[in-house]
Amino acid sequence: MNELMDEQIKWTNLNRQEIAQLLKSEGIAVSVTVVDQLLVKYNYRKRKAQKRLATGEHPQRNQQFENIEKLKISYQEAGNPIVSMDTKKKN
């Protein structure tokens, strides 16, 4: 069975250090090691951010690229460096 479908598993978005700090603010001082043990004992898992698929083309997509190109040219003419990044995941 997929963990996401298992009703026995509880999820948290907090990391171990954040949980320890929250407990400390409530007057319960515990180490990150103890937090690990508690998470296992009570069947908690750290939820990871989910990646989403693109939702389609933006109506002004071309205009966005044209604006970026204008900015790039003005930066180059001013002698500034240009950095280009492709942020899509490579398969």
41-63 pLDDT tens trace? 988 887 776 666 666 677 787 88
Amino acid identity of residue 90, one-letter, is: K
DSSP per-residue codes, 17-62: HHHHHHHHHTT----HHHHHHHHHHTTEEEPPPPP-------TTHH
pTM of the model: 0.45
pLDDT per residue as tens digits for the range 63-86: 888 998 999 999 999 998 888 777
Q: Which residues of 8-31 are buried (b: 16+ CB within 10 A; e: fewer)?
A: eeeeeeeebeebbeeeeeeeeeee
